[in-house]
Amino acid sequence: MRLLFTKGRNVSHHYYMLCISNSSPCTSAHVGISVYGCEGRSGHRHLDSPGAFARNGLDIFHIATETSLGSVWKIRVWHDNKGLSPAWKLQYVLVKDLQTGSSYYFLVEEWLSVDNERTDGGVEIEVEVSEEAELRRLPRLLNWELQRALCESHLWLSLWERPVRSPFTRLQRATCCALLLQLCLLANTMWYSTVANRSYR
């Protein structure tokens, strides 16, 4: 988990936290976002930082505005399509008003890539706030839980798909895998020895 700050205007009084989740490999493009509220908008904010937007990562940014935006109802996210691997799959964005404590979820689950036919090759997308009923749909919950279980809890697959924010490091996971292999070999050796001794009697 990374804590990154973006610069707002000269005088800033209202603060928002942005939690951005993605499932693609680290994009080489520069990412930006605009937050729209009933009483204003944040303007263009660039979310560049070395190592940000890693695969299965959750990055946290803070932005500041002169006044409250009111109820947040829409976001616009984009990238400049630069670098060797600019394609980026955005899972969701959580916007939290740090003054009021209100949270707004934006489900995206879309590739921002010139090769994506569903978006006609667009590298920007506008998303309106998601309703609670949409967040609680059973297929969506099952998909999230399956993805979490494979990336975080599966001992072998998590060697490659481990979330960046996980406290269980890749070295610790590799050590557990090696220990498990050794225990399996030991158990097989003991079993084979027992069977061999019985066959010679």
The model's pLDDT over 4-27, given as tens digits with 9 standing for 90+, comes to 445 444 445 899 999 998 877 778
> 11-25, 29-43, 173-187: which has the highest mean pLDDT?
29-43
Average the pLDDT over 94-115 and give the result: 92
Structural domain spans, the chain: 1-130, 137-201
Residue 106 has pLDDT above 90, yes or no: yes
Residue 144 has pLDDT above 80, yes or no: no
Q: What's the mean per-residue pLDDT of the chain?
A: 81
Q: Which residue has the tokens 């090759």?
A: 121
To the question of pTM greater than 0.85 for the whole model, the response is no
The model's pLDDT over 40-77, given as tens digits with 9 standing for 90+, comes to 999 999 987 777 887 777 888 999 998 899 999 999 99
Residue 1 has pLDDT above 50, yes or no: no
Strands 58-65 and 2-5: parallel
The band of 102, judged by pLDDT with boundaries at 50, 70 and 90, is: very high
The pLDDT assigned to 178 comes to 87
The model's pLDDT over 149-170, given as tens digits with 9 standing for 90+, comes to 666 777 777 766 666 666 777 7
- The residues, any chain, with a CB within 8 Å of residue 122's CB and separated by 6 or more, are 112, 116
Closest by Cα among 162, 164, 165, 166 to 151: 162
66, 94, 105, 125, 139 from 42: Cα distances, Å: 9, 15, 17, 16, 33
Residue 85 has pLDDT above 80, yes or no: yes
The CATH number of 1-130 is which of 2.60.60.20, 3.10.290.10, 2.102.10.10, 2.40.50.100?
2.60.60.20
